[in-house]
Amino acid sequence: MGYTDLFDLGYWAFGLFERICAAGSFFVSRLKSGCDPLIVAVAQSEWTHLIGKRLSEVIPLLADQTELDVTVQLSKAKKPRWTRSLRLVGLLHEGVWRFWVTNLFDSAFTPLLIFDLYRQRWLVELFFNHLKHGLHVEHLCCRNENGLMVEIYSALILYLLTQIVIALAALQSGQPLETFSFKRSCELVKAFLLTHLSQLFRQTSTALATFFHQLVQAVILMGHRDRRRSPA
């Protein structure tokens, strides 16, 4: 299987979809609100009456359904400028239908798994947010390639170390990962490292384990998100 692209509606374009398909890769995108795709095939025999209808016509017929899995053409025109068939999956969540389009036709990719793939896109957004604002990678000091790579890799090491500490803090405290703030936890990790850096290289493995345990405990006590503010 080739690469799978996950992108938001700002990148919605038939030309982009075609380039991804032609390259043998895959994509998952949320359905654009103004798009009313034509259903051309269905995954289950009991849905054959949906063929030839637009999505807007089909939604009222799904009263007893919580999932939709059909093949569609996106273009509205009688002579569409783009005729490649795509898969459209839908999930009913809190009384509202949510739809995604993809060229992943493998039945192993259920509608729920398609949704989960798309959801992973937000984790990528969080990763770059942490790099920029938590680790301040948007303000690099060096002006040569080697120095830039040192700064970037140092930030990535600190990012991974912070995520490991958060995971251990969640495990030991029995609290969800989402309880902990990456920014606050990262500040604690940096403070511990700066305080003990001169001693770390002379520590025994037992002392290092104690240091790491104390760091995790500090995150458990002081690394929580502020519930009154947006997650950080």
Q: Could you give the maximum distance between any two Cα atoms of the chain, in Å? A: 75
pTM exceeds 0.75, yes or no? no
Provide the CA 10 distance to its chain's centre, in angstroms. Answer: 16
Worst-scoring range by mean pLDDT, 19-33, 80-94, 216-230? Answer: 216-230
**Which is more confident, 88 or 190?**
88
Residues 71-83 have pLDDT tens digits of 999 987 666 677 8
Sorted by sequence, the CB contacts under 8 Å of residue 155 that are 6+ apart come out as 131, 135, 137
Residues 98-114 have pLDDT tens digits of 999 999 999 899 999 99
Residues 147-179 have pLDDT tens digits of 888 888 888 999 999 999 999 999 999 999 888
22 and 66 in contact (C-beta within 8 Å)?
Answer: no
Q: Rounded CA gap, 48 and 200, in Å?
A: 67
Q: Rounded CA gap, 50 and 102, in Å?
A: 19
Each domain of the chain, given as residue ranges in start order, spans: 4-119, 135-222
